[in-house]
Structure 1
Amino acid sequence: MKVYKFGGASVKDAEGVRNLKRVLETTGEKDLLIVVSAMGKMTNHLELVVNAYLNKTGELPLLLVEFRNYHQTIMEGLFPNSSHPVFSKVKNLCDTLENFLETNRSTKHSFVYDQVVCFGELVSTTIISQFLNDNGFSNNWLDVRTCIITDASFRDASVNWEETQKRIASAVNKKGITVTQGFLGSDSENNFTTTLGREGSDYTGAIFTYCLNADSLTIWKDVPGVLNADPRYFNNPKLLHNISYKEAIELAFYGASVIHPKTLQPMQRKEIPLFVKSFMNPDQAGTCVGKGVTLNPETSCFILKRNQVLISLSSLDFSFMMEDNISDVFRWLHKFKMKVELIQNSAISFSVCVDNKFDRLEELLVKLRERFRVEWHEGVTLYTVRHSSREEIDAFLKNKEVLLRQEGGDTVQVIVKD
C-alpha cells in the first residue's frame, strides 16, 4: 500500500480534480490512501470567516456565501447532473458549518478556528471521493477525525500515537482506495475537531504511512520536487534528486516550505521513503527523501522566513544575562505562543527571532519591559543558508541591511530588514 497527499493548489478547480484522476491513471497504483487538503485557498478563506465571526465585522454572511459558491462552481464543472447526490452532501456540510456559528458560545479563537476551518477538507474530500467513484476509481471516504486522536491543543494538537495506531489499523482497508482529509484530528476527551498546525496535511500523510507500514508517501506539489531555493524568491533554483532524512529534517526545521517539519520524523523511524513530485508531470522522478546520499546534487540551499520579529533584550542595570533571566524569557515566549526561530546571546544581551503567528507580540513586549530594556524589529526576514561558501554568502547579502548574523557548522543564518 502507498499513501498519496494532494495539496490545495492541486485541486483548486474542476480541472485540478480531473488532473488528480489522471495522476492515478498515470501511476497505476490500486492500493492507496489519499490525503487531500482544502481546495485552493479555502483554509485562508475560512480563517477570514473565523475573524469575521469573532470580531463581528459584518462580513460573515458574504464570506459564507463565497465559500458555498466556490465549491458549487467546482461541482458544476465535474457533475453535469445538478441532481447528483454530491450537491446535497456539500450543502449539508455548509449548513452544519453555519449551524455551528449560530449556536456556538465559545469566544476562544483557537477552538473556534479548528471547528470552522475543518470544513475546507471535509468538503474537498467529499467532492473528490464522489468524482473518483463516478470515474472508475472506487473508493471509501474516511472521516480522519475518527482515526487521528490528539490532545486538546487547538490549532497545534499533539497526536496520541497509541490510540491513533489502533484506530487506523481498524478503519483502513489496505486493499483498494481510501480518501481522507489532511490537517485534522479530534481530541480524546470531548471529540472536538483539532488541527495539526498549518500545512499539517503532509504530517497527516506521514501518520498514516507510519501506522499502515505503507511502502512510501508521495506528496504531490506544484513544483518538480524539493528545490534548493524557493522559486518565488530566488532565480534558477535547482532540483534536489535525493536527500537524506537528516538533511531534509534540517531543511524543514529551518523553514523549507515543501516539507512540513513534523512530516519526516515518523518516516525516518521506519525508514520509509518520501517522494515529492509534480502533479502536473507525474511520470517525472521528483525528489526522494530516504536513507543514503546526504544531498544530490551537492549544492547550496537557501531558505527564507518572512514577517518575523527580532527582539533584543538587555538588563536594565547592565547585569549579566544569566540562566534565571533567560529561563524567564523562554517561559514567556512559550506562554505567548511565540515560535522561536533563532537565538543569540552575549554577557549582557539576548536576541531572539520569533514567528508571531498567534498575534500576541504586544502582550509579550509588555511583560518583557518589566524586566529588560527592549528593542524590536517587526517584518524582518530570516535567511538560512546551508552548504554555501563565504564568497557566495557575501555576494548574496550585498546591498541588504543585516540586523543579525550567526554561523555554525555548514549553516549561516541572517536576519535582514526588508
Structure 2
Amino acid sequence: MRVFKFGGASVKDAAGINNVFDVLQKVGYDDVLLVVSAMGKTTNALEVVVKDYFDKSAALKASVQEVRKYHNQILLDLFEDERHPVFKAVNDLFAELDYFLGHNKSPNYNFVYDQIVSFGELVSTTILSYYMNHRGIKTHWIDVRQFIKTDATYRDAEVNWELTQKNISKGIKKKTLHITQGFLGSDENGFTTTLGREGSDYTAAIFAYCLGAESVTIWKDVPGVMNADPRYFENATLLNQISYREAIELAFYGASVIHPKTLQPLQRKEIPLFVKSFVEPLLPGTSVSKGADLEPYLPCFIVKKNQLLISLSSIDFSFIMEENISEIFALLHQFKMKVSLIQNSAISFSVCIEDKFGNFNELKNKLSKKFKVAYNENVSLYTIRHFNEKAAEMVQENKTVLLKQSSRETMQVVTKEITS
C-alpha cells in the first residue's frame, strides 16, 4: 500500500478538494490510504472555541458557528443538492460537538482541547470521502481513533504500538481507498487524544509502519524539501534526496517540512518518504530514504524566530556544576520550555528556548532565587547544517550576534536585528 497525507492547505476550500481528486486521478489510488488534516485554519478556529469555553464567554456560540459556516460554504460549493447525505453527516458531527460543550464536566484543559479540536479532522475527512464517492472514486471512511491507541497524555499522546499494530493489521483491507484523520488517536477509555501539533505526518508514518507500506507521500504547496525557507532566504534550492539520518537532524533543529516523530518508524522499516507538490503532482519532489545524506550537497538553513536567550551566572562566582545544570533542566521541563541550544562556561550557563506556553516570567522568578538572570527576548536562532564561510557570513550580516557555536557539521547563531 501507499500512504498519502494531505495537509490543511491542500483541502482549505472546494478548489482544494477538487484538486485532491485530480491528484488521485493522475498518480493512481489503488491500495492507497489517505491521511487528511483539518481544512485550512480550522484547528486555530477550534482553539478559539476551547478558549471561549473555558472563559465562559458569550462568544462561544458565535465561534462554533464560525467553524460551521466555513465548512457549510465548502459543502455548498461542492454539492449542488442540499439534500445530499453529506449535509446530514456534517450536521451530526456539529451536533456531537454542541453536546460535548453542553455536557462536559471535566475541568482538564488538555482533555477538553483534544475532544473539541478533533472535530476539524472528522469533518474534513467526512466531506472529502463523500465528495470522492460523488465523483466516482469509491472510498472507505475510517475513524482513526479505532486504530491508533495511545496513553492518556492529552495533546501529546504516546502511541501504544502493540495495540495499534494489531488494530491496523486486522482492520485495513487491501485494494481499497481508505480515508482517515491525521493527528488523532484514542486512549483505553475511548476518549480522543491528539499526537501534538502537526501530528498528521506522524499518523501517516504509523499506518505505513504497521502496514509495511511501499511509501509515504506528503503532499504540500511547495515542490519538496528546500535547503532554506523561501520566506526568509532568497534562492532556496530543492533537495532531491535526503537520508533518514540527515532528515532527522534537520527536523531536530526545527525544519518545519517534516514532523520530528514521523521519520523514526519509517527508518526502522526503510519505507521511503516523498514530499511532493499537490500543484504539480507528477514532479519527483524530494525523497527521504536510505542513501546519500544530501543531493545536491549544500548548506541547509533553519531559522527559529521569537526565541528567548537566557544567561545564568552564579551569584557567588562559584562554578556552575552538574547539580546546577540538572536543576536548571528540571525547571525548563517543568515550565515546558523547548530548548534549542545550550552553552556553558565555568560560571555561566546560556540557553536558547522557545516559550510556547507563556511561562517565562514564572521560570525567571524561580531561577532568580539561585542565579543572576540576564535575558534577550525576540531573538532569532539560525542553524546551518553543512555550513561554510559564505553561509555563516550570510546569516550574521546586519545583525548583532549574541551567541555562536559550531561542530564539524553544524553551526548555530543567536542574533538580534540591528535597530537604527
- Alpha-carbon shift at residue 194 of structure 1 (Å): 0.9
- Alpha-carbon shift at residue 28 of structure 1 (Å): 1.6
Secondary structure (helix, strand or coil) at the match of 1:150 reads: coil
Secondary structure (helix, strand or coil) at the match of 2:343 reads: strand
Question: Which stretch shifts more, 352-361 or 135-144?
Answer: 352-361
1:102 maps to what in 2? 102
- Alpha-carbon shift at residue 102 of structure 1 (Å): 1.8
Matches within 5 A, 1:151-300: 151-188=151-188, 190-300=189-299
Partners of 2:301 and 2:406 in 1: CA distance: 14
- Alpha-carbon shift at residue 126 of structure 1 (Å): 0.4
Question: Which stretch shifts more, 351-360 or 165-174?
Answer: 351-360
Q: Which amino acid aligns with 2:290?
A: K
Secondary structure (helix, strand or coil) at the match of 2:118 reads: helix
Partners of 1:185 and 1:359 in 2: CA distance: 27
Matches within 5 A, 1:80-95: 80-95=80-95
Question: Which stretch shifts more, 30-39 or 360-369?
Answer: 360-369
Secondary structure (helix, strand or coil) at the match of 2:124 reads: helix
**TM-score of the superposed pair, with normalisation by structure 2:** 0.97
1:400 maps to what in 2? 399
2:23 maps to what in 1? 23
2:39 maps to what in 1? 39
Of all paired residues, the percent bearing the same amino acid is: 60
Gaps of 5+ in 2: none
Q: Which amino acid aligns with 1:127?
A: I
Secondary structure (helix, strand or coil) at the match of 1:175 reads: coil
- For the pair 1:301 / 2:300, whether they are aligned, the reply is yes
- Alpha-carbon shift at residue 371 of structure 1 (Å): 1.5
- Alpha-carbon shift at residue 108 of structure 1 (Å): 2.6
Secondary structure (helix, strand or coil) at the match of 2:311 reads: strand
Gaps of 5+ in 1: none
Question: How many residues were matched structurally?
Answer: 417
Partners of 2:219 and 2:141 in 1: CA distance: 20
Partners of 1:307 and 1:56 in 2: CA distance: 30
- Alpha-carbon shift at residue 388 of structure 1 (Å): 2.0
Q: Which deviations, in whole Å up to 9, do the C-alpha atoms of 1:31-83 show, x marking residues without a partner?
A: 11100000001111111111222123433222111100000000111111101
Secondary structure (helix, strand or coil) at the match of 2:202 reads: helix
1:4 maps to what in 2? 4
**TM-score of the superposed pair, with normalisation by structure 1:** 0.97
Secondary structure (helix, strand or coil) at the match of 1:314 reads: strand
Partners of 1:249 and 1:230 in 2: CA distance: 17
The CA RMSD over aligned residues, in Å, is 1.2
Decide whether the 8 Å contact of 2:93 with 2:119 is kept in 1. yes
Partners of 2:81 and 2:175 in 1: CA distance: 31
- Alpha-carbon shift at residue 366 of structure 1 (Å): 2.1
- Alpha-carbon shift at residue 106 of structure 1 (Å): 2.6
- For the pair 1:140 / 2:140, whether they are aligned, the reply is yes
Decide whether the 8 Å contact of 2:301 with 2:383 is kept in 1. yes
Q: Which amino acid aligns with 1:82?
A: E
1:384 maps to what in 2? 383
Partners of 2:8 and 2:213 in 1: CA distance: 23
